[in-house]
């Protein structure tokens, strides 16, 4: 199976308070002014897929003044129609953060984990 990202949803992740982007199949370009949050979208996708970010601590990914951030990736296998959702929750705990991951395929939870940073 080969999954492609169909959408990404960000809540309180860096500069994004509540953003949802839907991606068509094929090539894609994100265009915007400097500081508009384009790189934050890529970092959110990277974080959801790998569990690590480009910044020092997971708590740095949470929007200032907020306690929790969330990234939701909707994935699809175009050949089979199989759908998967990768969901990441980051919760601030003082100067550190706790991260929880949940992966569902066709509506069934197939993996979960939690990590403290």
pLDDT for 52: 82
Nearest Cα residue to 15 out of 69, 81, 85: 69
Can you give the CATH number for the domain in which 49 is found? 3.40.50.300
User: What pLDDT score was predicted for residue 116?
Assistant: 56
Domain of 110 in residue numbering reads as 4-116
What are 39's two structure tokens?
């790189």
Neighbours of 48 (CB within 10 A): 22
Question: What is the structure's pLDDT at 94?
Answer: 81
User: What pLDDT, on a 0 to 100 scale, did the predictor assign at position 117?
Assistant: 47
Q: Is the pLDDT of residue 62 over 90?
A: yes
The half-sphere exposure of 114 on its side-chain side, counting CA atoms within 13 A, is: 4
Domain count, the chain: 1
Q: What is the pTM of this model?
A: 0.89
Which token pair is 92? Answer: 């601030």
């Amino acid at each position: 199976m080969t999954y492609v990202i169909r959408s990404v949803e960000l809540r309180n992740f860096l500069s994004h308070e509540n953003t949802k982007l839907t991606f068509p199949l094929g090539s894609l370009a994100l265009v915007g002014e400097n500081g508009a949050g384009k790189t934050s979208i890529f970092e959110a996708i990277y974080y959801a897929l790998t569990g690590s970010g480009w910044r020092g601590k997971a708590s740095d990914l949470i929007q200032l003044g907020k306690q929790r951030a969330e990234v939701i990736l909707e994935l699809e296998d175009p050949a089979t129609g199989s759908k998967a959702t990768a969901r990441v929750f980051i919760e601030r705990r003082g100067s550190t953060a706790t991260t929880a991951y949940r992966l569902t395929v066709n509506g069934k939870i197939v993996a979960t984990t939690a990590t403290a940073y």
